[in-house]
């Protein structure tokens, strides 16, 4: 079998997207490998450690800041919708988790590295949640669970997509 025929049989109908994902700029490759759930985790880390240092290790100030009103929006019903800093952190994590799930449909080498780095992010989150008082909050717990879902969903979607690639390749 020639190299081109072997490559075509390997890619099949479902694998064409992964060939395009591996081509392109180095920034595209970095985007495919970088786990986006790391953004809210790093944001929380910088904020928590910075607030802890600024308040002489007073963790209650850090925990209380998560509930502080960040934005107030008047509603048509006459009440005020209050958005807290912690709510914004969770919203950011949900949006980036959605993008991560879209990225997990590729079956290339970048996806495997992404899943490995996502697992590392989850392990770091778990250790911080269990061992550091500033991270023992519901907001960080939800971010940690989203990082776990990123790992689980990414692995499951990649396995299913790879299985389809193999099935299409076997039909040719």
The confidence band for 3, taking pLDDT boundaries of 50, 70 and 90, is very low
Question: Over 80: is that where the pLDDT of 122 sits?
Answer: yes
Token duo for residue 18: 């992964």
Q: Structure pTM?
A: 0.76
Who wins on pLDDT, 165 or 69? 69
Structure confidence by residue, pLDDT tens digits, 33-53: 889 999 999 999 999 998 888
**What's phi and psi for 166, nearest 5 deg?**
-65, -40
Determine the Cα–Cα distance for residues 36 and 93; give it in Å rounded to an integer: 9
Angle in degrees, CA 150, 92, 61, rounded to 5: 110
Token duo for residue 125: 């989150």
């Amino acid at each position: 079998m020639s190299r081109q025929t072997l490559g075509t049989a390997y890619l099949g109908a479902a694998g064409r997207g992964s060939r395009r994902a591996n081509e392109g700029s180095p920034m595209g490759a970095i985007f495919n490998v970088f786990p986006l759930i790391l953004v809210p985790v790093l944001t929380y880390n910088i904020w928590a450690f910075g607030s802890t240092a600024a308040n002489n290790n007073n963790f209650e100030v850090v925990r209380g800041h998560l509930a502080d009103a960040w934005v107030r929006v008047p509603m048509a019903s006459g009440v005020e919708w209050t958005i807290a800093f912690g709510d914004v952190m969770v919203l950011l994590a949900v949006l980036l988790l959605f993008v991560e799930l879209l990225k997990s449909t590729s079956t290339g080498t970048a996806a495997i590295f992404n899943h490995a780095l996502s697992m590392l992010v989850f392990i770091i989150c778990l250790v911080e949640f269990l061992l550091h008082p500033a991270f023992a909050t519901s907001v960080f717990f939800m971010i940690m669970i989203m990082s776990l879902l990123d790992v689980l969903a990414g692995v499951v979607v990649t396995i299913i997509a790879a299985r389809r690639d193999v099935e299409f390749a076997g039909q040719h």
